[in-house]
A = this chain, B = another copy of it.
Amino acid sequence: MSVPGEHMAAEVAEQPAVYDRILTTGLPAIRQVAEEISARGPRFVALTARGTSDNAAYYAKYLIEVLLGLPVGLTSMSTRTLYEAELNYADVLCVTVSQSGGSDDLLQFTEAARKGGAITLAVTNAADSPVNNASEFSLDVLAGKEIAQPATKSYTAELLTLYLLVDALRKGDASDAKDLPALAAGLLDRHDEITALAQRYRFTTNLMIVSRGYSAATAHEAAWKIMETSYLQAHAYSSADLMHGPIALVDSMSPVIALAPEGVTGTAMHDTIDRLRERDADLTVVGTQELVETAARGFSLPAGVSEQVSPMLEILPFQWLAYEISMQRGLNPDAPRALAKVTSTR
């Protein structure tokens, strides 16, 4: 019989090795695909994904807006599966991001986009999936088989693959990512800090995670992970959206984790952190050493990491947190109730 959480724990721990595999074995294929796509001159990007992969797509959307300056959208597959929209997708790069590559809605949308003239690219953890076969180009994220329901290593593998793709599209040298395997290993070694932190959340029914910019995707993925493993109302907000409504929810009984890594994004979070303090939020900071030192509780991130690369590191303590809260509640994070690994939706 399996031990609760053993698969999730093993898969979280594998991530430095997955990063190394992508940076060595995976990179040539990514560059080749980027070159062929560049030659086609895409002018718009459409990203198609669900669940955890949708959070990876959200990261990629931000990356594409900033680094390529192209208009980019996350598609609503049901426009095709329910309404049979005819897509005018000439000059559109349509990227379908999926762990399994097996969901029928992803497949149908990918097929319709290709029929509508899009350049189609599958980014999956399943090289022979239906979505791969339906796409003109494919990239395997090389995470290896994932057994636990909560996606961890397939998420970060999608992030790195998408990062390297965008970097290659703008003729980058991927140097910002070269230390990822070592930095990831260093973060994952600090499991004990997270075990201690998780105790504080033993009985909460809700949790708010706030960030922005590149790290907004991390906040969404972290909330999603904690929600599915630990059955609590964990929700993510960009700091800008927070001020437009959810800040009204915050009081001294509100656990909030502010994610503020080094760089422009993190600096822009300082006002948000001040506002959360004014509202007496129960605040934990995940961010720079300097910022963590000003907070009652926190988890420091390594210095000198570029903002584009940071999401591949900052999610790691949240994965341990999701695992720990679930375990401390006597649940099994490997198999959340009511979920299936490949989700069938129309």
Seen from chain A, the residues whose Cβ lies within 8 Å of a Cβ on chain B are 43-44, 46, 50-52, 54, 61-62, 65-79, 82-83, 85-92, 105, 116, 205-206, 212-213, 216, 224, 227-228, 231-233, 235, 238-241, 243-250, 264-265, 268, 279, 336-340, 343-346
Contact = CB atoms under 8 A, between A and B. Distances in A.
Contact of A240 (B78, B116, B249, B336): B78
A228 B243 CA distance: 11
A115 to B, nearest CB: 11
B346 A268 contact: yes
5 contacts: A69-B88, A76-B216, A206-B233, A243-B344, A244-B343
Contact of A249 (B73, B116, B227): B227
B44 A264 contact: no
A345 B44 contact: no
A105 B224 CA distance: 28
B268 A249 contact: no
Can you tell how many copies of this chain the complex includes? 2
Contacts of A92: 44, 71
A228 B240 contact: no
A74 B44 CA distance: 13
A82 B248 contact: no
A233 B239 CA distance: 17
Given A44-B44, A205-B205, A241 B61 contact: no
A133 to B, nearest CB: 22
B71 A268 contact: no
A79 B105 contact: no
Contacts of A61: 73, 76
A62 B44 contact: no
Given A43-B91, A79-B62, A338 B233 contact: no
A113 to B, nearest CB: 9
B71 A85 contact: no
A126 B243 CA distance: 21
A72 B73 contact: yes
Contacts of A86: 69
A319 to B, nearest CB: 15
B245 A83 contact: no
A108 to B, nearest CB: 12
A83 B235 contact: no
A196 to B, nearest CB: 26
A236 to B, nearest CB: 11
B46 A71 contact: yes
Given A248-B339, A339-B248, A343-B243, A78 B268 contact: yes
Contact of A345 (B51, B70, B76, B243): B243
A216 B74 CA distance: 15
Given A44-B43, A44-B71, A248 B206 contact: no
Given A78-B268, A82-B213, 15 more contacts: A46-B73, A51-B245, A52-B244, A62-B76, A62-B79, A65-B76, A67-B85, A69-B87, A70-B88, A228-B245, A240-B346, A243-B343, A247-B338, A248-B337, A248-B338
